[in-house]
Amino acid sequence: MQKSLVIVESPAKAKTIEKFLGKDYKVMSSYGHIRDLKPKEFSIDIEHNYKPEYVVPADKKKLVSELKKESASVGEILLASDEDREGEAIAWHLFETLGLKPENTKRIVFHEITKNAILNALKNPRNIDINLVNAQQARRVLDRIVGFEVSPILWRKVKPALSAGRVQSVAVRLIVEREREINHFVSEASYRLTATFLLPDGMTLLNAKLNKRLKDKQEALRFLESCKDAEFMIEDITKKPMRKSPAPPFTTSTLQQEAARKLGFSVSQTMMVAQRLYESGYITYMRTDSVNLSDLALNTSKEAIVGSYGEKYYKFRKYHTKSKGAQEAHEAIRPTYMSAPEISGNAQEKRLYDLIFKRTIACQMADAELERTTITIRIHNKEDEKFVAVGEIITFDGFLHVYMESFDEDNGENELENGLLPPVKKNDALTMKDLLATERFTQRPPRYTEASLVHRLEELGIGRPSTYAPTIQTIQNREYVTRGDKEGTERTFNILTLKNKAITDTDKTEITGADRNKLMPTDIGAVVNDFLTEYFPNILDYHFTANVEKEFDTIAEGKADWTKAMDSFYQVFHPIVEAASAVKTEHKVGERALGTDPKSGKPVFVKIGRYGPIAQIGQAKPDDKKDKPQFASLMKGQSIETITLEEALKLFDLPRMVGLYENEEMIVGIGRFGPFIRHNGVFISIPKTLNPLDVTSEEAIELIENKRKKEQERHIKTFAEDPELEILNGRYGPYITYKGNNYRIPKSTDPATLTLDECRKIIEETADKPAKKKFAKNKR
């Protein structure tokens, strides 16, 4: 009989731990939580101290039976789930559900899956920390109360099937408010002046910029005029040594931010890859807000740096966590073995590990040493205006030899501030080669990326390392927020050039406001945000949400009773819910009046419909069922917040007939899934490059023919003897489809030559592992 049963929450983690334990240990996985609140019920007994009503899901009952059986047959059970609050709750649920006994059940924790860490944890078992469990229960119960009490109000007031969440609603608010800042932003123009000077040798060039911006074109012209006959001289040269220090090792949020900037990973992708690295024993636990490094990590980092780069590149650094709500005494995210700069794994795992390894190494390396040179150029007829050239050179690269931190936004102000400047002397006379006055504009606030949203949530004290990725995923899944691209608009800007004592005036164009992979609110997200802000200001208040997180921290420290904290919240919250539910509004929430339809004289407005934002002409009248309102879906890129009356009225031109083809009408319209052409019962999607309001007959015919061509290419072969069996060409290559299942065709096989019997043989041979259903998407 095996002496001990170790239970962890993931099979990958179990597999790695099993390698370090002997035959006396059996490692099993709980596959996450084995019980939770009932999914479609409130499941909280308010009257009895907010007692949660937990159930074992149907898909976990067999597993629970196996764990019960196994735990009854061993002398010791070790609960080895992750060391954070969620992990502690998993351990507690296992203890309660399996009916374990305190005398032979212990909790072991470790923040890295290495042999030393596991053996050390076995030597230092402890009891389940009920304070951590209660902090997790408090979060779960509070979020369930908010979701179940607020969501039904949204169904009635806005649209069915919507939901509200404590942290997700605040995240949506941040994105909605930022978008409105952008929409209301008015750009201000000014002129930036840059000059190219010839040094006394007549060959060497020096670039410099004016130390101030000029407010308008007239002022810029006057300045250029005054420089036609001006003399220029080196007034001052200053050299200043500078140092740059490395960034601290990764926390959850900084890893998510840097992986987004450097690797292009989404927040959830970063956490998924980091989880695999942790469970494989390559990095420490990936949900942490600590920047602390263990003595072992510090010592092994020193060995790696001195061995690879030399003693001068090493500098001991001890980082301390400044975050007020930092959870538990975790370590920063670092490699488990600092002697291993590379690992085996897939491309994503290797890239993220490389990032973590370099960041950890860099944080124990010497400062980079730089020298900044500033050259000031005097204009003989000006007192206040001077040209300035700034150059920066690295005299010792230090940590930059390995790693440099990235940043989200670059305003382009430092584009002349780099590199080595040419040698000059004080009082050198310079000759102006040319002078450019370029019209520049103040920049609107940047839209959030997933990473910058995490950074902002962390700044506000909202959420914790374990909640950032799920929150951002949830608001996208619920279509309150979309991550995507925004097309820019063309803008004209002016350039004045002084060269050879002549001024030329040129206008050029540029694209402004374009964005890629940014978070933007949907109309539904904006409407829900406005409703919650009006009726539930506390839920959307940043300070309130941050204070709730602090309350959870206090519970985790054993300094507060979680049920009392719930009661304090509920006594304030529930009356607000009842008041909001009782409010009767004349119009649907989010409705916006645009004006009057000139043809009918009826009001025109936009609102959230069953399938999204719609425009409406007229209103339903109970006493006149013949006079029904007209509806039209908004097009992609249009918003109920910014659409004009003219734009809305154009939507009612659809559906429209653009012509006949093969004696059948071609109808352009907008449906639930976007703009389309309907021809002979077939729907053809209209691409983003075409506006459905302007599609011509020729363009419609081309789209119809392209659709037919693709369909023909997709159908490789059919069999009259068995019409349900077909060979298709899919996104991932040819495959057989039969009775709702898809089957891969071996690569060496020519699908066009397959007989019916050969197809049936392939189906029989791969019956246990049919191709993924995603092939079926190609039927659309």
From the list 396, 378, 523, 551, the residue with the least C-alpha distance to 464 is: 551
CA distance 148 to 573: 12
CA distance 740 to 291: 52
Q: Coil, helix or strand for 402?
A: coil
CA distance 508 to 511: 11
Q: What is the DSSP string of 237-269?
A: EEEEEEEE-PPPPB-HHHHHHHHHHHH---HHH
> How far from chain centre, in Å, is Cα 258?
12
663: phi > 0 → left, psi -120 to 50 → alpha, else beta; which?
left
Marked catalytic residue, from 285, 403, 535, 735: 285
For residue 277, count other CB atoms closer than 10 A to its CB. 23
CA distance 605 to 649: 10
Q: Are strands 429-441 and 232-244 parallel, antiparallel or unpaired?
A: antiparallel
- Helix 166-184 crosses helix 542-556 at what angle (to 10 degrees)? 150
Asked whether 552 and 143 are in contact (CB, 8 A), the reply is no
Residue 31 among the catalytic residues = no
Residues written for the chain: 780
CA distance 731 to 673: 21
CA distances from 476 to 235, 343, 522, 647, 673 (A): 57, 33, 10, 27, 17
Structure tokens at 764: 């029989």
CA distance 312 to 371: 19
CA distance 145 to 562: 14
The residues facing 609 across adjacent strands are 612
Which of the 8 DSSP states describes residue 533? H
Amino acid at 347: A
Asked whether 390 and 240 are in contact (CB, 8 A), the reply is no
**Residues forming the active site:** 285
